[in-house]
Structure 1
């Protein structure tokens, strides 16, 4: 295989794994609370990341990296995975999987908009059009097409899903200034977040007996949403001759995800979800077009 073929293989494997997580979230939440899913998935993800570092012969770097970067690791760990996934899982508990996952795809646009105040980047006309299409798509999904009456299917769930995109965007904006090696940094985030999640569960009475189905689901979520898949994507980005060729693969994910949601969960896919998701993907595509002039 050529380098580019290896990049495509890693990228497609990552996209396929990410396409299953909305289904895994919903199936796991049938057996676990949002906090419990976060706790056990975080433990599984930390084990996955530690095993990767072990295979790379870099496990000994973890403790020195912690003492050197404990402050930034604490901030990042509280944002992601703790706050981000706790809120995201709660959104999935309140909404159909098809709606939660579609809204979650607006995080890339949220990051662009937040980069204006945080990174002093310039807002372009493309970004305005992208925002218009994306958030109209969110409105279509949230109201299930009832735009005239603004009758939201679950306002709390939609609000939490949008807050999760805000947290994810903030995390990646801060990540532009992170000097830690990616896998090592992610392992530190989970190492710090895990005891915080444990305390949260203890305070809220969540340390109770859970079913084996919930544990299996959490292990899958931890490995394929939070752990190994992230590394696969990093490898794809390093191997590719063009970042755009790999980045564009992510557009396959929501469509494949809808198939798994329909096939494995049995959710009826609403026409409003398809139309709203189409608007969101169109908005993200507009954002990727050659940049138009800045807003004066």
Structure 2
């Protein structure tokens, strides 16, 4: 099996897991607060990523970083998992899954925009067009199709969802300067973020919860969304000979996610959700096409020089 085929398999497995997490979020939030979900999921994620590092024989790398990199782990842990997942879970707590999930996918576009001032990238016409199309979709979803009324279904929930995209994009911009092993880095971010989440739970009396199915859903979120999915996607990117083809797999996820949302959660999928989601995916496709063209051009230069 070629590396590209392996990359596609890892990518598809990741997309399948990503497609289930919106449903898992809502199942967990049925009996848990966003902070309780964050605490349980973070504990599960730390355990699973630590186990992965042990099984891979890379546990020693956790203790071989410079002092400044441990401080970096704490600072990045405040962003992810602490702030990012608190906003994301807050959005899912207030909005139907079919609304919160598509909005969250616009983080890739936010990343492109933030890369202009922080990474020195150039903003082109296609970036602006992609943004207009994407956020037209967000507007349709947030207003449930009543775009002329300018009435949002839940302004705070929408603000949380949009805010989570800003935080997540900012995290990845900071991560461009991160020289740690990806899995080790994420493990330490979550490990250093866990005491902060625990302290917040103690301060808000969020340590008391019932033993229900929501706990299993929260564990699922930690194990798969925060842990295994990240590792699988890292493998996909590492083995990919054409990363654009693997990245395009993410366009499957939001549509497949709607199937789980409808079938498991029983949400009636609104026409506005389909319209908004198609607009968001169209905008992201424009953005991905630009990245794919750059990669193809680079590949042409390499092959031509060889």
TM-score norm. by structure 2 comes to: 0.93
**Structure 1 residue 214: Cα displacement:** 2.2
The reply to whether residue 245 of structure 1 matches residue 242 of structure 2 is no
**How far apart, CA to CA, are the structure 2 residues paired with 1:66 and 1:227?**
24
What corresponds to 2:296 in structure 1?
none
The C-alpha deviation readout for 1:112-147, integer Å capped at 9, x for no partner, is 111111112110101000010001100000001111
**How far apart, CA to CA, are the structure 2 residues paired with 1:140 and 1:202?**
39
**Structure 1 residue 156: Cα displacement:** 0.6
What corresponds to 1:4 in structure 2?
4
**Structure 1 residue 227: Cα displacement:** 0.2
**How far apart, CA to CA, are the structure 1 residues paired with 2:267 and 2:200?**
32
Contact 2:4 2:239 in 1 (8 A): yes
**How far apart, CA to CA, are the structure 1 residues paired with 2:96 and 2:161?**
12
What corresponds to 1:112 in structure 2?
112
The C-alpha deviation readout for 1:185-211, integer Å capped at 9, x for no partner, is 000001001110000000011011332
3-state secondary structure, aligned to 1:86: helix
What corresponds to 1:209 in structure 2?
209
Contact 1:44 1:223 in 2 (8 A): yes
Q: How does 1:271-286 map to 2 (within 5 A)?
A: 271-286=271-286
What corresponds to 2:158 in structure 1?
158
Which of 204-213 and 92-101 deviates more? 204-213
What corresponds to 1:91 in structure 2?
91
Contact 1:31 1:211 in 2 (8 A): no
**Structure 1 residue 75: Cα displacement:** 1.3
**Structure 1 residue 72: Cα displacement:** 1.1
**How far apart, CA to CA, are the structure 1 residues paired with 2:63 and 2:57?**
14
Contact 1:240 1:246 in 2 (8 A): yes
Contact 2:32 2:209 in 1 (8 A): no
Tell me the C-alpha RMSD between the 2 structures: 1.3
**Structure 1 residue 245: Cα displacement:** 1.1
The reply to whether residue 183 of structure 1 matches residue 183 of structure 2 is yes
Q: How does 1:54-203 map to 2 (within 5 A)?
A: 54-65=54-65, 67-203=67-203
**How far apart, CA to CA, are the structure 1 residues paired with 2:195 and 2:290?**
45
The runs of at least 4 aligned residues of structure 1 exceeding 4 Å deviation read: none
Which of 99-108 and 53-62 deviates more? 53-62
What corresponds to 1:229 in structure 2?
229
**Structure 1 residue 286: Cα displacement:** 1.1
Which of 192-201 and 61-70 deviates more? 61-70
Contact 1:18 1:225 in 2 (8 A): yes
**Structure 1 residue 177: Cα displacement:** 0.6
**Structure 1 residue 241: Cα displacement:** 1.5
**How far apart, CA to CA, are the structure 1 residues paired with 2:123 and 2:3?**
35
Q: Tell me how many residue pairs correspond in the alignment.
A: 292
The reply to whether residue 264 of structure 1 matches residue 267 of structure 2 is no
